[in-house]
């Protein structure tokens, strides 16, 4: 499976309103990871239990996955697309047991060659299922390689004046993990060229939100909804911003719009349950909590 290139996520995470002056906690929920990687939630939780990744817990004890966690899970999915998932589970468990304590799978490269899972690490090549060593005749990655590290390849060099809105957007995607300020500038350049660029608008809003500029994030989410009315992601992100701005009634409206677009948006149900409880509406809170639990259980979590 070929690497599809840099992936830029446009999802903002749910979280309780932070204390005054505190930054909200961010991370990808299991539901969002399932959507982004097209993975069953049950498989994500299975790989968490196996120790492939070690996500943190959010304010409500939910799992929160970092960007490196997503890279590892995407690589595991790449393997599972080529060999049975149970073999992937067994192979990666064996590799992980051989690593020093505290060392994760990030940075180790896996491939599928002749139907066998192969590990490339530290100049060595071996099959974790059999323990058999291999000779590395070709240092170049084989077809189907799953690299457990973030792509470092930058977009082709170009003078800034030559870049269009989409190129600036891609540059923002490339630089997010290493330099959020530079990524924000890239998204702004994209929006100068195309004010209706939805993904750049949502990503800029999310980065502003993470930087504590919640009011500016709200403005960008609303502009994104102007370009794409009723979008579930932008509506959900707006709800999170409104929660952090202590405007719960407006946040309820935003989450409800997210559910109008995607009735199975589990995290929107969860956040609505929390807000209705906060606003003294126990029946509504219970209804959304039940819907959240049903969606999670249906997904195998």
- pLDDT attached to residue 11: 37
User: pLDDT confidence of 8, banded at 50, 70, 90?
Assistant: very low
User: If you search the block for the tokens 């990030």, which residue do you land on?
Assistant: 106
* 116-121 and 56-57 beta bridge pairing: unpaired
pTM score: 0.52
Cα 237 to chain center, whole Å? Answer: 14
Query: Mean pLDDT score of the chain, rounded to an integer?
Result: 75
The continuous run of DSSP H or E covering 94 comes out as helix 85-98
Q: What is the pLDDT of residues 53-104, one digit of tens each?
A: 888 877 666 788 877 777 788 888 888 888 887 788 788 778 777 665 556 6
- pLDDT attached to residue 21: 34
- pLDDT attached to residue 16: 35
Strands ordered across the beta sheet of 133-134: 133-134, 124-126, 116-121, 109-113, 146-147
User: Average pLDDT of 236-259?
Assistant: 92
- pLDDT attached to residue 171: 86
Q: What is the pLDDT of residues 151-176, one digit of tens each?
A: 333 334 444 457 888 889 888 887 77
Q: What is the pLDDT of residues 248-277, one digit of tens each?
A: 999 999 999 999 988 888 888 888 988 988
Question: What is the spatial distance between Cα 287 and Cα 173, in angstroms, rounded to a whole number?
Answer: 38
Question: What is the spatial distance between Cα 128 and Cα 117, in angstroms, rounded to a whole number?
Answer: 7
User: Average pLDDT of 184-205?
Assistant: 90
Question: What is the spatial distance between Cα 175 and Cα 92, in angstroms, rounded to a whole number?
Answer: 29
What the chain holds in terms of domains, given with CATH numbers, is 30-147 (1.10.1660), 160-262 (1.25.40.10)
SS percent in the chain: helix, strand, coil, step 5:
50, 10, 40
Q: Give helix 41-49 / helix 30-37 axis angle, nearest 10°.
A: 110
- pLDDT attached to residue 34: 82
């Amino acid at each position: 499976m070929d690497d599809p290139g840099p992936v830029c996520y446009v999802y903002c995470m749910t979280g309780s309103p932070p204390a005054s002056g505190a930054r909200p906690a961010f991370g990808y929920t299991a539901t969002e990871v399932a959507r982004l990687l097209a993975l069953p939630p049950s498989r994500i939780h299975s790989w968490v239990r196996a120790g492939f990744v070690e996500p943190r817990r959010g304010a409500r004890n939910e799992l929160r996955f970092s960007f490196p966690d997503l890279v590892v899970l995407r690589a595991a999915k790449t393997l599972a697309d080529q060999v049975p998932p149970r073999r992937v589970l067994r192979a990666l468990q064996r590799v992980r047991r051989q690593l020093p304590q505290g060392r994760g799978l990030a940075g180790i490269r896996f491939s599928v060659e002749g139907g066998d899972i192969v590990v490339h690490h530290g100049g060595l090549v071996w099959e974790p299922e059999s323990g058999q060593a291999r000779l590395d005749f070709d240092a170049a990655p084989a077809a189907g390689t799953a690299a457990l590290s973030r792509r470092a390849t930058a977009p082709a060099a170009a003078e800034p004046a030559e870049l269009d809105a989409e190129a600036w957007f891609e540059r923002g995607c490339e630089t997010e993990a290493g330099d959020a300020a530079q990524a924000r500038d890239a998204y702004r350049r994209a929006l100068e060229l195309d004010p209706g660029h939805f993904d750049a608008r949502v990503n800029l809003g999310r980065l502003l939100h993470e930087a504590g500029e919640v009011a500016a994030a709200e403005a960008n989410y609303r502009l994104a909804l102007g370009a794409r009315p009723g979008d579930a992601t932008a509506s959900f992100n707006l709800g999170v911003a409104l929660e952090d701005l202590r405007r719960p009634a407006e946040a309820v409206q935003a989450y409800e719009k997210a559910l109008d677009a995607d009735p199975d948006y589990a995290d929107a149900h969860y956040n609505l349950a929390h807000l209705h409880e906060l606003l003294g509406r126990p029946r509504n809170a219970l209804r959304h909590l039940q819907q959240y639990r049903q969606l999670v259980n249906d997904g195998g979590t």
